[in-house]
Amino acid sequence: MIEVKHLNKSFDGKQVLYDISATFRHGAVNQIIGKSGSGKTVLMKSIIGLFKAESGEVLYDGRNLLDMSKREIKLLRREVGMLFQGSALFDSMSVIENVMYPLQMFSDMSKIDVEKRAKFCLERVNLQTHAYHLMPGEISGGMQKRVAIARAISLNPKYLFCDEPNSGLDPVTSLVIDKLIEDITQEFNITTIINTHDMNSIMETGANIILINKGHKGWEGSKEGIFTDDNQALNDFVFASELYKKVKLANQK
């Protein structure tokens, strides 16, 4: 479980996050949602420690990130997997080398075991074997996301972060990736945090949702409450789309 308490973050004197408190549940897909520029990426990067928050607490199963030494943060990072918006695969390495990299770096496994584990992870994300030795630039965006997920889970992380996992993907592939993240979260009992503004993704996997609005926590709930809650910030976000307005009207009837 990850808990955030009274988190504040600013850049050059301009406050971006205001007193954010939230709980991200263990073994569930937690989502940070909000409009572009609302501060959700800053929140996610502050939780991971890529940005240092000015005040507050970020508790990883009770361990406060902001009180940790550099060494402790480094050790914590080995419990973390991350899927980046653009996949962030190392373009000088092949697909399988990308997945093997964290294992080679931080495990004592033999070469054969490293390869076995990498293949297991790639099979788990349903990547065809012919792609294993291709370079990241030679595979599709959807396949790149799968490889990035395989790399993220290779060291059996306790915490998985996904920054806009559906960006640049078609709706069908997006659903496949969402389902994959959800399945992996439950199968490996991980605390997963997804940063998204994709409504399909929110309705598909949002077990615990936090809405960020202009740097403040605007709403907290689950996908079931998305259409029924009267929260103004939530309604502004969700019903910006005509389609969802119609869904709401249909529900009211």
Partner 1 sequence: MLGLDTVGRYVELMKRTFSKPDNWKMFWRQLPKEMEKLGIDSIGIIVLISIFMGAIMTMQTVLNTENPLLPRYSTGLVLRDTMLLEFASSIMSLLLAGKVGSNIASEIGSMRITEQIDALEIMGVNSANYLILPKVIGLVLCMPLLVTFSVFCGLIGGTGVAYFTDLIPVADFIYGIQYAFIPYYFTYSIIKSLFFGFIIASISAFYGYYAYGGALNVGRASTNAVVNSSIVILLMNIVLTQLLLV
The site for partner 1 (CB under 8 A) is made up of 48, 50, 74-78, 80-82, 84-86, 88-91, 101-102, 104-106, 155, 161
Residues 75, 77: Cα–Cα separation, whole Å: 5
CB contact at 8 A, 154 and 184: no
Smallest distance, Å, CB 146 to partner 1?
16
Residues 45, 195: Cα–Cα separation, whole Å: 10
Residue placing its CB nearer to partner 1 in the complex, 93 or 134: 93
Q: Which alpha helices (H) appear in the chain, and where do they start and end?
A: 40-48, 70-77, 95-106, 111-124, 141-153, 171-187, 199-205, 232-238, 242-252
Q: What would the two tokens of residue 110 be? A: 């033999």
Smallest distance, Å, CB 249 to partner 1?
40
Smallest distance, Å, CB 13 to partner 1?
17
Residue placing its CB nearer to partner 1 in the complex, 106 or 120: 106
Smallest distance, Å, CB 159 to partner 1?
10
Residue placing its CB nearer to partner 1 in the complex, 74 or 116: 74
Smallest distance, Å, CB 185 to partner 1?
18
Residue placing its CB nearer to partner 1 in the complex, 1 or 76: 76
CA angle, 25 then 29 then 33, to 5°: 100
Smallest distance, Å, CB 92 to partner 1?
8
CB neighbour class for 68 (10 Å; exposed up to 12, middle 13-18, buried from 19): middle
Residues 75, 72: Cα–Cα separation, whole Å: 5
Q: What would the two tokens of residue 181 be? A: 């993240």
Residue placing its CB nearer to partner 1 in the complex, 92 or 252: 92
Beta bridge partners of 31: 194, 209
Residues 195, 212: Cα–Cα separation, whole Å: 10
Phi, psi of 179 (to 5 degrees): -65, -40
Residue placing its CB nearer to partner 1 in the complex, 148 or 233: 148
Smallest distance, Å, CB 160 to partner 1?
11
Phi, psi of 8 (to 5 degrees): -125, 140
Residue placing its CB nearer to partner 1 in the complex, 25 or 78: 78
